Amino acid sequence: MKFTLEPIYLITALIIAVVLGISCQPQPVKALEKDTDYYNHTLYDEPTETEIELANQEWKAEHGELQTPLTPEHEAEIRHHLRAK
């Protein structure tokens, strides 16, 4: 009678399948935290039109209609960081 490893492979595969079947159960929805991106899409909150308009008004009140000009120090810093990349 010849000894083969087929029964051992089958038993090992069965044990692995049982362990994975028990340990990899999906979470029920009630078990999920309420403040995650998966459950609650409001964590990534898009600004509303009113908030955008208010931000635009604040910018225009502080800086005027156009973007502020670069100072030589800021321009040198930007060029330094661009060269580093």
The C-alpha angle with vertex 39 and arms to 34 and 40, in degrees rounded to 5, equals 80
- Answer yes or no: are the C-beta atoms of 78 and 70 closer than 8 Å: yes
Q: What is the DSSP letter of 40?
A: -
The radius of gyration of the chain's CA atoms, rounded to the nearest angstrom, is: 31
Residue 18 identity (one-letter amino acid)? V
- How confident is the prediction along the chain (85 residues), in pLDDT tens digits per residue? 576 778 888 999 999 999 999 888 887 767 666 655 555 555 567 788 999 999 999 988 988 887 777 889 999 999 999 998 7
In this prediction the pTM is 0.32
